Amino acid sequence: MAAVVVIIAGYAGAGAFLPSGDSFPEQSGPAQKNNSVSAQGDPNSQMNPPLSHADSIERMAIGEKYYSNICSVCHGDEGKGDGPVAKFLKIKPRDFTRAQFKFRSTASGQLPLDEDLYGSITGGMPGTGMPPFAQMDPKIVRDLIMYVKSLSPRFSDPTEYPLDTVKIGTPVPYTTESVRRGRAVYVKAKCWTCHGMQGKGDGPAVDNQFDDKGNKLYTPDLTNAWSKKVGFTPELVYKIFSTGLNGTTMPSYRDGLTENERWDLANYVIALSERRKPYDGLDIPQDSQ
Amino acid sequence: MINFYRRVFAVLAFTLLPFSLANAIPMFSRPNHIPCSACHTGDFKLNDFGELFDGNGYQLPGTIDRTPVWENMIPPISLAVQDRESFTQTNDNLLPSNNSHAATFNSQTALLLSGGTIAPHVSYMTEYDVENTGNGELTAGLEYAFINLNNLFNTDMGQFNIRLGKARMELPFELTPEFYAANYLIYNYPLLISTINPLAFQLQMAQYGASVFGRWAELPFSPDYQLAISGGDAGEVNLQRARLIYFRVAPELTLGTIPTNIGLTLISGSQTIDPSDPSLLDTNNSFTYGIDWQLQDPWINMFTIWGQVMRFHNSNIQSISSGFFQDAAGGYLELDAVAIPEKLTLQARYDWLQEQNVFASVSNQQNLSQVSLTARWHLMPNVHLFIEGYNLTTTTTYPASDTQSHFYVSGGFFFGL
């Protein structure tokens, strides 16, 4: 697994946040309300035009307006995840001041890319109170991202950069053999301690899982696609294994498992959600990838 | 009774068919894959995000949905069924012969709802109710149906909307009397004392009319507002001769560290009852005002305190009599607790209402007080179990002093799809 090291670029009191994905509509602006803005991104991607300071202030103001009128009801005025709606939700809203984002393209413990935040806002978090703002104007989503990043000092801390992004690489085909190997990896990596031997989220350690804020963690039932938040394809599951979920007890297996082992494990998890037979894999179509 | 269950089953079966893959998430949460509690408080009130969703024309705030409901894969239909078994006991100090008690399987309600986007800036919402009134008879009717022209002037956060049709007025919270036995006494009180249809102008009932409403985030304290004109709830009310003007504004405040909404309500009504005999021409005017509040607990983030006090004045000027007026004042104080998020909610409420009417120099006073408690347990994704109890005490002074008490407790289930 080759990781791509990203660079920082800053200019005129504002900086660029460089996207690494083709689907991300436009680069985000500065992460800070004031100055010393950092940027991140793929050095091979095309750099977007820089923002003027006045444009940055204007966009930040738009982001703040939308945040305070929409996002703050759950995430709180200061982004601490303590808005008035939070008490009704079993899975608590993200505390933006800690900048611990679960679903990222970056290495364990690192900050997310803008496109990760873009995906979370427009795709939502199924099963939680976070709806998909898919029809929100992309420019406003970018402004929101800029404001959300301003809520944590981590985004303006130069020591947080460069970010180490996870490369998807070449998937291992979704075959019976891969699923069988994935099952072995599942046992070897002790995934069952939380997710249970059958993947139903009922492992022996499941009752003692808390996030970094002390909120109860709800281990997903991997056999129920509806209980998943993100891992709907082998690529997305692979990404989770490679990045870990910051702020939770789900670690990164980027160093603990080989790339192929992670792909096999991802195929096994997908097989679980499709209710394939996890042991003999008889229902897995050969070379269905 | 059997017919009722057959009909409910038929509706259920019909509704379940297209939703079998939808994991049974209700109408608005289903396409967004979010739990009910993203918009609701654990019972049927809307939380702050639900208010934003509602105020944005049943679209996510910050967005202008351009996809009409018929282009979505999932039909915009929801079904709710509630059944309850109850025990009631009535005591009458003056007339012990009125004392009674009964245990009954007496209340079933089924609702069919539909709502969503018709076009950019146009959405709709409708609810059709079927209810077993307790003696085996079914009543059915359109509870409300309206069209929203939402997010006008290209706003996308519900600043300016127009609602046309039959709808409830904006109250401190979304009122769902269909699912509760204990009425909010002030919402049950008639705003216009009408001899034609005395139930036409209760706040708990949807009214025919038009309103402008929204949440103006750019203004100081981001006030919610509504200005409505209403003609009553039923077709037999003459719209030209009975009308109500309703205005409510509710800014967001912070009292110390306590997030608060304070609302002010003003209602003015008038009607002319025009019988066949011109000598009985009768004009009735009313004025109502009230203040409401919602306080969030900022410490353990578990409680919400709701309340409202209202004062009602009805004056009736008759051509042949010396006149009539009726004053009333009342309110409620409610404590809602989220004991276990998305699982267990508790409510405790105290209602009171004092009525005084004077006709031909004869005065009658009636005092009502009510204590109610409700617990709801979210058993499964679509099923709630509940226990509700209340005690209503009524004291009257005319023609003789009398006190009645009515105790009610019930339990049942709620199913939503």
**Residue B88 pLDDT level (bands cut at 50, 70, 90):** confident
- Disruptive mutation site among B23, B33, B344 for chain A (greatest number of A CBs within 10 Å): B33
pLDDT score at B74: 79
Whether B171 and B203 have beta carbons less than 8 Å apart is answered as yes
**Residue B380 pLDDT level (bands cut at 50, 70, 90):** confident
Q: What is the DSSP string of B20-78?
A: TTTTT--TTHHHHT--GGGTB-SSSSB-HHHHHHHHTTSS-TTB-----GGGSSS-SEE
**Ramachandran quadrant class, B13 (left: phi over 0; alpha: psi -120 to 50; beta: rest):** alpha
**For residue B307, with 0-12 CB atoms within 10 Å meaning exposed, 13-18 middle and 19 or more buried, which class applies?**
middle
**Residue A1 pLDDT level (bands cut at 50, 70, 90):** very low
Would you call A84 and B48 a contact, using CB atoms and an 8 Å cutoff?
Answer: yes
Chain A touched by B338 (CB under 8 Å): yes
- From residue A43, how far is each of A17, A118, A136, A155, B80 by CA, in Å? 11, 20, 29, 19, 54
Q: What are the tokens at A63? A: 């982001």
- At a CB cut-off of 8 Å and minimum separation 6, what does A100 contact? A94, A212, A246, A247
Q: What are the tokens at B227? A: 């200005």
Give the one of B35, B41, B343 whose C-beta lies nearest to A129's C-beta.
B35
pLDDT score at B366: 92
CA distance A268 to A257: 15
Q: Are strands B362-380 and B344-359 parallel, antiparallel or unpaired?
A: antiparallel
Contacts of B64 in chain A (CB under 8 A): 135
Average pLDDT, chain B: 83
CATH number, position B208: 2.40.160.10
Q: Give the residue on A whose Cα is nearest the Cα of B261.
A: A84
Q: What are the tokens at B262? A: 């304070």
Range B251-256 average pLDDT: 84
Chain A touched by B41 (CB under 8 Å): yes
Residue B357 has pLDDT above 90, yes or no: no
Higher pLDDT, B246 or B159: B246
- Disruptive mutation site among B20, B23, B27, B47 for chain A (greatest number of A CBs within 10 Å): B47
pLDDT score at A162: 94
Residue B86 has pLDDT above 50, yes or no: yes
Give tens-digit pLDDT for A151-183.
999 999 999 999 999 988 899 999 888 998 998
Range A67-80 average pLDDT: 93
Instruction: For residue B98, give the DSSP letter.
Output: G
Whether B121 and B150 have beta carbons less than 8 Å apart is answered as yes
What residue spans of B200-287 are helical by DSSP H?
none
pLDDT score at A3: 35
Would you call A127 and B34 a contact, using CB atoms and an 8 Å cutoff?
Answer: yes
Residue B350 has pLDDT above 60, yes or no: yes
Residues 203-232 of chain B whose Cβ lies under 8 A from any Cβ of chain A: 217, 222
Q: What are the tokens at A201? A: 């989220």
Range A203-215 average pLDDT: 88
The kind and range of the H/E element at B79 are strand B77-92
CA distance B313 to A233: 64
Give tens-digit pLDDT for B169-216.
999 998 888 888 899 999 999 888 765 555 568 899 898 899 999 988
Looking at chain B, the whole-number percentage of residues with pLDDT higher than 90 is: 35
Give tens-digit pLDDT for B323-343.
667 889 999 999 999 999 989
Sign of CA dihedral B339, B345, B346, B349: positive
Would you call A226 and B40 a contact, using CB atoms and an 8 Å cutoff?
Answer: no
pLDDT score at B307: 96
Looking at chain B, the whole-number percentage of residues with pLDDT higher than 70 is: 83
Residue A2 has pLDDT above 50, yes or no: no
Contacts of B62 in chain A (CB under 8 A): 66, 69-70, 133, 136, 140
Domain A4-165 class in CATH: mainly alpha
Would you call B341 and A89 a contact, using CB atoms and an 8 Å cutoff?
Answer: yes
Give tens-digit pLDDT for B108-128.
889 999 999 998 889 999 999
pLDDT score at B197: 56
Q: What are the tokens at A225? A: 């696609």
Contacts of A130 in chain B (CB under 8 A): 34, 38
Give tens-digit pLDDT for A255-280.
999 999 999 999 999 988 887 665 55
- Other CB atoms within 10 A of residue B235 CB: 10
Parse chain A into domains and list their residue ranges: 4-165, 176-273
pLDDT winner (highest mean) among B100-104, B287-291, B354-358: B287-291
Tell me if A4-165 shares its fold with A176-273.
yes
Give the one of B34, B65, B157 whose C-beta lies nearest to A131's C-beta.
B34
Whether B29 and B39 have beta carbons less than 8 Å apart is answered as yes
The kind and range of the H/E element at A179 are helix A176-188
pLDDT score at B4: 56
Chain A touched by B134 (CB under 8 Å): no
Give tens-digit pLDDT for A21-62.
334 444 443 344 433 333 344 333 333 456 777 788 999 999
Q: Which amino acid is it at A97?
A: T
User: What ipTM does the predicted assembly reach?
Assistant: 0.83
Domain A176-273 class in CATH: mainly alpha
- At a CB cut-off of 8 Å and minimum separation 6, what does A226 contact? A126, A127, B23, B33
CA distance B315 to A278: 76
Give tens-digit pLDDT for B259-274.
888 999 999 988 776 6
Residue A214 has pLDDT above 80, yes or no: yes
Query: For the CA atoms of chain B, what is the radius of gyration?
Result: 22
Q: Quick one: which of B378, B379, B404 has its CA closest to B391?
A: B404
- At a CB cut-off of 8 Å and minimum separation 6, what does A102 contact? A229, A245, A246, A247, A248, A250
Q: Which domain holds residue B252?
A: 2-416
CA distance A62 to chain B (A): 12
| 3-class DSSP assignment, residue B262 | strand
Chain B touched by A87 (CB under 8 Å): yes
Q: What are the tokens at B401? A: 């002093």
Please state the domain count of chain B.
1
pTM for the model stands at 0.83
